[in-house]
A and B are shown apart, each in its own frame.
Chain A
Amino acid sequence: GQSLEQPSEVTAVEGAIVQINCTYQTSGFYGLSWYQQHDGGAPTFLSYNALDGLEETGRFSSFLSRSDSYGYLLLQELQMKDSASYFCALPGGNTGKLIFGQGTTLQVKP
């Protein structure tokens, strides 16, 4: 089967950098995705890593280490609007499935 683990909560201050970790177990690996969800809203796609290394998209970056079954989402120059839940997710290749972790709630304080 597939499973993912993330911290349940992270707190940081405005302007700081925060890292949200994700470890996973899967028999077949097809990359790691990250989604953001504001309270009561729809999840929105942030990034995807298929290969080892860092992918940067503006203030957000995502890192993957396939040998360690580990990835993280890095948020820089935190803003109050970044307060949300962040989910890592495992795509299932040709099955089309996407298996989500339980999410990390980020609280950004002034």
Chain B
Amino acid sequence: DADVTQTPRNRITKTGKRIMLECSQTKGHDRMYWYRQDPGLGLRLIYYSFDVKDINKGEISDGYSVSRQAQAKFSLSLESAIPNQTALYFCATSGTGSSYEQYFGPGTRLTVT
């Protein structure tokens, strides 16, 4: 089984809808991250969490919210989806003190029409 899993893998939704992307990990890591990737661009950090009680905004948090339900679970929500949130979303984890080495999930391809 994969260490970092994401659901759904693909999602098409309409403008204005609320959508949640979920991430689970079995690596036992404390740190979890959400990134988005647009064609031809690198990954941009949306939110990150050091533990269940510690959640931080990344570079592009506007329009997104997160919830860390447990050490192993970190979900990303789009409260009211808009077309420019169409992107590939990745969840990642890392051990404490080793953010330089992150383990990524397979990604969720989200299309907002």
Whether A associates with B in a native complex is: yes
| A interface, CB within 8 angstroms of B | 8, 30-31, 33, 40-45, 48, 87, 89, 91-92, 95-103
Q: Given A42-B90, A43-B43, A87-B43, are A98 and B106 also a contact pair (CB < 8 Å)?
A: no
A48 to B90, Cβ gap below 8 A? no
Residues in chain B near residue A102, CB distance under 8 A: 40-42
- Chain B contact patch, size range: 20 to 34
Report the minimum CB–CB distance from B109 to chain A (whole Å).
Answer: 9
| Other-chain contact of B100, A87, A98, A103 (Cβ < 8 Å) | A98
Determine the distance from Cα of A40 to Cα of B33 in the docked complex, in whole angstroms: 19
Residues B41-71 near A (CB distance < 8 A): 41-45, 48, 50, 56, 58-59
Residues B17-38 near A (CB distance < 8 A): 31, 33
Residues in chain A near residue B44, CB distance under 8 A: 100
- Let me know if B74 is at the binding interface, CB within 8 A: no
B90 to A98, Cβ gap below 8 A? no
Report the minimum CB–CB distance from B46 to chain A (whole Å).
Answer: 11
A-B complex: 5 closest residue pairs judged by Cβ atoms: A100-B42, A91-B100, A42-B104, A33-B100, A96-B99
Determine the distance from Cα of A35 to Cα of B44 in the docked complex, in whole angstroms: 14
Residues in chain A near residue B75, CB distance under 8 A: none
Can you list 22 A-B pairs, Cβ within 8 angstroms, ordered by A?
A: A30-B100, A31-B100, A33-B100, A41-B107, A42-B90, A42-B107, A43-B43, A45-B103, A87-B43, A89-B42, A89-B100, A91-B99, A96-B31, A96-B50, A96-B94, A97-B48, A98-B45, A98-B102, A100-B43, A101-B42, A103-B41, A103-B42
